[in-house]
Structure 1
Amino acid sequence: MRSKKTIFFILSLSIFSSMLGVGVISPLLPTYVKTLGATGIQLGVIFAGFSIARAISMPVIGKASDLYGRKIFICTGLFIYTLMSIGYALSKTAFQLGTVRFLQGFAAGMIMPIATAYIGDMAPKGKEGTYMGYFYVAFFLGFGIGPLLGGFVSDYFGMKTAFFTMGGFNFIAFILAFSLLPGAEIHRQGDKAHISYITMTRESELIKGLFTFRFTNALARGIFACFLPIFAGIKLGLPGSEIGILISTSFLLNGIFQAPGGRLADRFSRRRLVVLGIIVDILCLSLIPLTNSFGQLLSICIVSSTARAICLPSATAMIAGEGKKYGMGSSMGIFNMALSLGMACGPLIGGLVSDSIGVKFTFYFAAGVELVGILLFAFFTATKMDRR
């Protein structure tokens, strides 16, 4: 049996490689969709289809992994991801690309919740924050470096080469997971892993609170990622290079700060860290419309990244605690489903706000959503002052 450190390293390397591949195409996909003649509505459907498919599959796969083991699902997800990467390059119509995106979203539902369930299985009691923090470093660094690599590959070798690059990185992740991850060696079912999601959410106020936090935070993040480049480019007139620095800085610093954020989660009240991180993020979102320079926006991105790195490991550690009761896969499945739903709804709702009253109000709306979310989180978790 491999040591926990070895398994953790293999899993983190697999996720880093997979997210690096996903990040490679993130700045290229809108342009590629347009070359296939997609309308604005089709573009929205293609992007939303991924998140919808992922949201549907996550809770189903999460519970199945509690019953049948983790490895088969994460390996299957990575392999389908590899095949769908080839599908991007072979797509000739918007419908074909939309189908590929939907199937890839389904595969994505087998990767992240299962990976975090593996980590939750391994983490000793009281060390969940540290384990989750270091894991998220691999996740965010992969996704943050990917766009930089994707731009280089596309510029010098063509856009379709970038899709094959994504497939290559995910195939490497598949080989690592298939060859080196354990099957049932560290897998533990919760005492109540057999119960339904309805019963689980009815019993656990903590799960209600964490789902609310994850959904509203993801919705706000979706608005931020979608409309910050628009605000910076159109309202402030920043060049593409500076906008790229803003986005990359946000992802990379968020990744780097996950490790100390995880250590904090094991030393202080996780509930209070979540509340603190979101309050700071609300202030950052509210200040974005008031900025008038690159330096001001960059400062906000740095502070916001730090705030998110404080709250995410704490929240994931809290859900891992519930996972030991209700099944780690089930708990991580519903937690990550909230992420997918929020990321799907954020750009759509933000678009309505932007079209109705202006792009700067999307950030005020995002701040308001996070405020409602953190108030509900505080209400649901009021009797759980510290889940350690």
Structure 2
Amino acid sequence: MKAPSPFGNRRIFGILFFVVLITTMGAGIVAPLLPVYAQGLGAGNLEIGAIFASFSLGRTIFVPIFGILSDIFQKRWFIIIGLALYSVVSLLYFISTGVKGLILTRLSQGIASAMVLPVAQAYVVDLVKKEKMGTALGAFNIALYLGLSLGPILGGTLNDRYGVGASFIAMGVFTLSAMVFASIMLPSHGEFKGPLSLDYKAYFAMIRIPKVFSSVFIRFNYTASVGMLWAFLPLYAQNEVHLTSAQTGLVVMVNVLVAGLIQIPAGWLWDRVEKDLVLLLSFLVTACGLLGFLTQASFLSLFVSNGVFGLGGGMAMPALMAMVGSESKRSGMTGSGMGILTFAHGLGMLIGPIMGAWALDGFGFKGIFGSALVLTSFGVIFWMMGRSRGSYGDTP
């Protein structure tokens, strides 16, 4: 007898995988270009941080709302509408000739993105069984990381050959293609569960669950570190190490590529071995990557350090999602649960670039890498303190 798939409905899983892959590839196209592009418009360090943070501000504010609403209405429509808005907003890059325009454009894209990724992740949680949660979410995360790894390479190449405008066009085309594909291929998911009730008490009750809160805290700390590097590593690579746009794209890409490749093995480990070992090992690997940034600076050293940093973070991601996914599925609030985790991600990407700007102004680029190391340390220490007090019970 054929064994059941760990991914639930393979067809729906594949459709969601492709939609997220194309969407994140479009978003990743502009990632290595924005800091240098903004600097060319006269932006200072703090303003560059604000440009990156504005995307996360929009997503952080709206992702809890869309998460709750997606538990009431069909998730399919949130994904389609979010992709449509993202495509339209991409056109605003052409008319954003100043720092304020870029901030508003990124803010609008953040709001649109809040309707896509967390809802797609919640869709997957609904499809799979609890005991396969780590494996399934690890496999699904490959779409996210693969898109974000291929995007910077494509964006850097387009910028070197045709200018930054070509990258903006490509971003819009990719997200529009994902929207059309989702509209045609993605089936309806569940029925309307009205009457409309935004139960924030249940939402905050879930956050107070020790396993959920610890997952959120670790995700925030790691993502804040990522936010620092995404905002200022391209500047460091091009202004200090004198890399080309294509080389900078490769440096940015390797982080998410390695993180994507480790998703299925990391999810498999989480479903089968000691949970603390997975999280502790992920922290040690992450720390090694950040320490690498504090040594010599060259294309090879940046490439390797960012790859190791991505490996450590990628190891922890299926674990955190599986813990929150199991708790949210138990209470029938998968959209809200994935929204909580995405909220932590957005908050980290909101605060990280601002912290990076302060660190850069006060201590230079090395201050950014040192601050990121301290942040990730706080996350794992908090987890181990909770484990020593027995706060988590049997971790799923």
Partner residue in 1 for 2:89: 84
Deviation for aligned residue 1:288: 2.5
Deviation for aligned residue 1:38: 5.1
Give the Cα–Cα distance (whole angstroms) in 1 for the partners of residues 44 and 302 of structure 2: 32
Aligned pair in 2 of structure 1 residues 102, 244: CA closer, same or farther (>3 Å)?
Answer: closer
Deviation for aligned residue 1:21: 0.8
Give the Cα–Cα distance (whole angstroms) in 2 for the partners of residues 168 and 129 of structure 1: 32
Whether the aligned pair in 1 keeps the contact of 2:216 and 2:340 (CA below 8 Å) is yes
Partner residue in 1 for 2:243: 239
Deviation for aligned residue 1:22: 0.8
- Counterpart AA for 1:286: L
1:387 is aligned to 2:392: no
* Structure 2 residue corresponding to 1:348, chosen from 354, 362, 365: 354
Total equivalences in the alignment: 382
Aligned pair in 2 of structure 1 residues 386, 308: CA closer, same or farther (>3 Å)?
Answer: farther
Give the Cα–Cα distance (whole angstroms) in 2 for the partners of residues 292 and 161 of structure 1: 30
Partner residue in 2 for 1:365: 371
Partner residue in 1 for 2:5: none
Map 1:299-314 onto structure 2 (within 5 A). Answer: 299-314=304-319
Give the Cα–Cα distance (whole angstroms) in 2 for the partners of residues 374 and 205 of structure 1: 14
1:259 is aligned to 2:237: no
Aligned pair in 2 of structure 1 residues 233, 100: CA closer, same or farther (>3 Å)?
Answer: closer
Partner residue in 1 for 2:207: 201
Aligned pair in 2 of structure 1 residues 5, 216: CA closer, same or farther (>3 Å)?
Answer: same
Whether the aligned pair in 2 keeps the contact of 1:46 and 1:98 (CA below 8 Å) is yes
Give the Cα–Cα distance (whole angstroms) in 2 for the partners of residues 293 and 34 of structure 1: 22
Aligned pair in 2 of structure 1 residues 229, 87: CA closer, same or farther (>3 Å)?
Answer: closer
Whether the aligned pair in 1 keeps the contact of 2:30 and 2:171 (CA below 8 Å) is yes
Give the Cα–Cα distance (whole angstroms) in 1 for the partners of residues 282 and 93 of structure 2: 37
Partner residue in 2 for 1:121: 126
- My pick for the range that moved more, 305-314 or 41-50, is 41-50
Give the Cα–Cα distance (whole angstroms) in 1 for the partners of residues 114 and 381 of structure 2: 28
- Counterpart AA for 2:330: K
Q: Deviations over 1:232-273 (max 9, x none)?
A: 5566x3533554433222221221221222222222233431
Deviation for aligned residue 1:40: 5.5
Whether the aligned pair in 1 keeps the contact of 2:59 and 2:110 (CA below 8 Å) is yes
User: Residue 370 of structure 2: SS of its match in structure 1?
Assistant: helix
- Counterpart AA for 2:205: T
* Structure 2 residue corresponding to 1:149, chosen from 151, 154, 158: 154
- Counterpart AA for 1:354: L
Give the Cα–Cα distance (whole angstroms) in 2 for the partners of residues 125 and 329 of structure 1: 16
Partner residue in 1 for 2:77: 72
Gap runs ≥5 in structure 2: 1-7
Whether the aligned pair in 1 keeps the contact of 2:86 and 2:175 (CA below 8 Å) is yes
Give the Cα–Cα distance (whole angstroms) in 1 for the partners of residues 171 and 224 of structure 2: 26
Whether the aligned pair in 1 keeps the contact of 2:207 and 2:340 (CA below 8 Å) is no
Partner residue in 2 for 1:290: 295
Give the Cα–Cα distance (whole angstroms) in 1 for the partners of residues 360 and 261 of structure 2: 32
Whether the aligned pair in 1 keeps the contact of 2:93 and 2:102 (CA below 8 Å) is yes
Partner residue in 2 for 1:103: 108
Give the Cα–Cα distance (whole angstroms) in 2 for the partners of residues 157 and 232 of structure 1: 21
Whether the aligned pair in 2 keeps the contact of 1:17 and 1:142 (CA below 8 Å) is yes
User: Residue 290 of structure 1: SS of its match in structure 2?
Assistant: coil
- My pick for the range that moved more, 237-246 or 8-17, is 237-246
Give the Cα–Cα distance (whole angstroms) in 1 for the partners of residues 42 and 86 of structure 2: 24
- My pick for the range that moved more, 161-170 or 225-234, is 225-234
Give the Cα–Cα distance (whole angstroms) in 1 for the partners of residues 383 and 249 of structure 2: 33
- Counterpart AA for 2:336: S
Aligned pair in 2 of structure 1 residues 231, 153: CA closer, same or farther (>3 Å)?
Answer: closer
Aligned pair in 2 of structure 1 residues 313, 186: CA closer, same or farther (>3 Å)?
Answer: farther
- Counterpart AA for 2:220: F
Give the Cα–Cα distance (whole angstroms) in 1 for the partners of residues 303 and 106 of structure 2: 32
Q: Taking structure 1 as the reference length, what is the TM-score of the superposition?
A: 0.89
Q: Deviations over 1:42-78 (max 9, x none)?
A: 5443332211011001111111111223112111111
Whether the aligned pair in 2 keeps the contact of 1:24 and 1:149 (CA below 8 Å) is yes
Q: Deviations over 1:339-364 (max 9, x none)?
A: 11111211211221232233213222
Aligned pair in 2 of structure 1 residues 97, 353: CA closer, same or farther (>3 Å)?
Answer: closer
Q: Taking structure 2 as the reference length, what is the TM-score of the superposition?
A: 0.87
Give the Cα–Cα distance (whole angstroms) in 2 for the partners of residues 293 and 90 of structure 1: 36
